[in-house]
Amino acid sequence: RTVYVNGEYLPETEAKVSVFDRGFLFADGVYEVTSVLDGKLVDFDGHAKRLERSLNELEMKAPATSDELLEIHRELVAKNGIDEGLVYLQITRGAPGDRDFAYPAADVPPTLVLFTQNKPGLADNPTAKTGIKVISVPDVRWGRRDIKTVQLLYPSMGKMMAKAAGCDDAWMVEDGKVTEGTSNNAYIVKGNKIITRELSTDILHGITRAAVLQMAREAQMEVEERAFTIDEAQSADEAFFTSASAFVMPVVEIDGVPVAGGKPGPIAARLREIYIDESRKVAL
Ligand code: PLP
């Protein structure tokens, strides 16, 4: 695989980052994951805008303009022959020559790393036909989940707790309400209404969420942005989640309770189809 590090395209075995990099020592960094369909980038502009926001919130310098980042994405997709897959981008606050909690001087350049993940069958994922099972876990993450930082230890632990319970993912719960999945936004359906938590600092503002909600409204579906409980989700007509890497994915069991007879529902299936079709048309 060819990867990108600070201006260079290199074989992955030759790419290097300093042991003093603040991403490594402090999880002081942000990231984006953009999907690739037909060799093109899905909603690159949305990801570039969120990246800019994450950087601003952390007072971190952008190492490249959005146009330059788009070029690097495209170059990596081409060099690695990706038809369906993902591009991972990470920016950390660089590598001062020592470990220090205070941010380094302004002349320390940020570290920019990108790599691709080849995922043939991303759009035609058979799991979308059967759905996935989730458990609920308490949400003990920090209070700025709207910033897409590389601090992903608790979501990893959630994923492991889910696996230990024979499930695929975990939905996190705070003050009795679902915040989001370990790496996705959570939804339920009641009748013709799609319900998902409102935007705040409590959740990541999913790029797929924004696109899917807009498409749902355009398709005359009703959308309500509010938090919901696990009880409400277990008795909903459908449950699903969205993310750049899974698009729209049905959830058929929550804490051992089947949702709507344990079968994926029609609204999630329709939204998945609309989202993938529309994304193919506008991908860059
Ligand atoms: N919520 C969390 C915690 C995430 O990590 C992600 C994606 O990685 C999402 C939601 C979905 O965001 P997006 O649709 O931009 O991939």
Tens-digit pLDDT profile for residues 28-67: 999 999 999 999 999 999 999 999 999 999 999 999 999 9
> Residue 228: its pLDDT value, please?
98
Burial of 98 (0-12, 13-18, 19+ CB in 10 A): exposed
At 111 the pLDDT is 98
pLDDT for 175 = 98
Domain locations along the chain: 2-118, 127-282
3-state SS class at 109:
coil
**Residue whose CA lies nearest to ligand 1 atom number 5:** 183
Closest ligand 1 atom number to CA of residue 152: 5
Task: Find the mean pLDDT for residues 21-29.
Answer: 98
pLDDT in tens, 170-184: 999 999 999 999 999
Task: Say whether 40 is catalytic.
Answer: no
Taking residues 134-144, report their average pLDDT.
98
CATH of segment(s) 2-118: 3.30.470.10
pLDDT attached to residue 260? 93
Residue 210 CB partners (closer than 8 Å, separation 6+) = 46
Atom number of ligand 1 nearest to Cα 209: 14
- Name all residues whose Cβ lies below 6 A of ligand 1: 33, 180, 183-185, 204, 206-209, 242-244
Question: In whole angstroms, what is the distance from residue 119 CA to residue 266 CA?
Answer: 25
pLDDT digit string, tens, across residues 208-260 = 999 999 999 999 999 999 999 999 999 999 999 999 999 999 999 999 999 99
From start to end of the chain, where are the E strands?
2-5, 8-11, 29-37, 40-41, 85-92, 111-118, 132-138, 169-174, 177-181, 185-190, 193-196, 222-225, 238-243, 247-254, 257-258
For 91-104, what is each residue's pLDDT tens digit? 999 999 999 999 99
3 state DSSP class of 39: coil
Find the length of the chain: 284
Give the class (CATH, top level) of 127-282.
alpha beta
Closest atom of ligand 1 to 182 CA is 3
**Atom 9, ligand 1: residue with shortest CA distance:** 184
Do the strands 2-5 and 29-37 form a parallel or antiparallel pair, or are they unpaired? unpaired
Average pLDDT, the chain: 97
CA of 70 relative to ligand 1 center, distance in Å: 20
Per-residue confidence (pLDDT) for residue 77, from 0 to 100: 98
